[in-house]
């Protein structure tokens, strides 16, 4: 079962996935911790980070976790308030256990990591169980993530969109859950998103 928690301040989507061996949380953003705890209690979580911007990592240090999965190119953003843009929200760096930070490529057999740089160098999409894609700020229903923030790259984003277009064309029924806005499917993105035409 997948639950969506909407962060009020930045309207960022946080997702909870119940698995046999525990709960996975994707992008615990601003104000999501209390609602996550309401669902899972004091159980330890596995946390997946699509990219290291403040609105997607803000509440990590309010949760109990075993591991935090992030691409190595965005690892430093978890530890640096300026690089993660946490400082724009009046926050210092996250207080997290650095030994719990793990390369997202080690996530597990139900997951496929798709490195999609452009919004940040370490932006990733996570394909779950072959049919659900969590895109973070790489792709939204009718748009894409910004490339004008520190670490962004328009050229890298173009390459990432080419890769995702191929995935979408090969799997039009793929469910897509973005970092902001409503969920959709690959078919609708190919029709409605001008960056895929």
Contact status, residue 165 vs residue 172, Cβ threshold 8 Å: no
Strand ranges across the sheet with 184-185: 111-115, 124-128, 132-136, 175-178, 184-185
- Is the per-residue pLDDT at 20 higher than 90? no
pLDDT on residue 108:
85
Over 90: is that where the pLDDT of 174 sits? yes
DSSP tag of 19: E
Largest CA distance in the chain: 45
Mean pLDDT of 133-160: 98
Chain-centre distance for alpha carbon 35:
18
Quick check: 65 pLDDT over 90?
yes
- The chain-wide mean pLDDT, for the chain, equals 96
Give the three-class secondary structure for 183.
coil
The helix or strand, by DSSP H or E, that contains position 124, with its residue range, turns out to be: strand 124-128
> Hey, is 192 helix, strand or coil?
helix
Q: Residue 51 is part of which domain span? A: 2-196
pLDDT of residue 140: 98
Q: Which of the four pLDDT bands, split at 50, 70 and 90, describes residue 161?
A: very high
Looking at the chain, the whole-number percentage of residues with pLDDT higher than 90 is: 93
Domain count, the chain: 1
Map residue 17 onto helix, strand or coil. Answer: strand
Band of the pLDDT at 56, cuts 50, 70, 90?
very high
pLDDT at 9: 81
Confidence of residue 42 (pLDDT cuts 50, 70, 90): confident
The CATH number of the domain where 160 resides is what?
A: 3.60.15.10
Least confident of 5-14, 62-71, 152-161: 5-14
pLDDT at 21: 86
Q: How far apart are CA 97 and CA 152, in angstroms?
A: 27
Q: What is the pLDDT of residue 96?
A: 97
Q: Which residues 6+ apart lie within 8 Å of 70 measured at CB?
A: 48, 49, 52, 77, 78, 101, 102, 103, 104, 122
Between 103 and 1, the more confident residue is 103
pLDDT at 160 over 90: yes
CA–CA separation, 38 and 12 (whole Å): 18
Q: Which residue has the tokens 């690959």?
A: 186
- Distance (Å, whole) CA 145 – CA 112: 21
Residue 122 to residues 8, 39, 155, 183, 194: CA-CA distances in angstroms? 25, 29, 14, 22, 24
Name the phi and psi angles at 56, rounded to 5: -110, -10
Residue 57 half-sphere exposure toward CB, CA atoms < 13 A? 31
Mean pLDDT of 97-108: 95
């Amino acid at each position: 079962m997948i639950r969506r928690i909407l962060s009020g301040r930045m309207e960022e989507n946080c997702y909870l996935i119940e698995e046999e061996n525990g709960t996975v949380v994707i992008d615990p953003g601003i104000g999501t911790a209390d609602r996550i705890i309401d669902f899972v209690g004091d159980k330890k979580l596995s946390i997946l980070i699509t990219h290291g911007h403040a609105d997607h990592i803000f509440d990590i240090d309010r949760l109990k976790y075993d591991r935090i999965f992030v691409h190595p190119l965005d690892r430093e953003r978890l530890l640096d308030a300026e690089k993660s843009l946490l400082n724009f929200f009046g926050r210092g760096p996250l207080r997290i256990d650095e030994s719990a930070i793990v390369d997202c490529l080690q996530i597990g057999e139900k997951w496929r990591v798709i490195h999609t740089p452009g919004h940040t160098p370490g932006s990733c999409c996570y394909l779950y169980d072959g049919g659900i894609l969590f895109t973070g700020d790489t792709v939204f229903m009718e748009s894409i993530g910004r490339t004008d923030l520190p670490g962004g790259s328009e050229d890298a984003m173009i390459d990432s969109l080419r890769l995702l277009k191929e995935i979408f064309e090969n799997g039009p029924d793929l469910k897509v859950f973005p970092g902001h806005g409503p969920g959709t499917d690959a078919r609708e993105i190919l029709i409605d998103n001008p960056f895929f035409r």
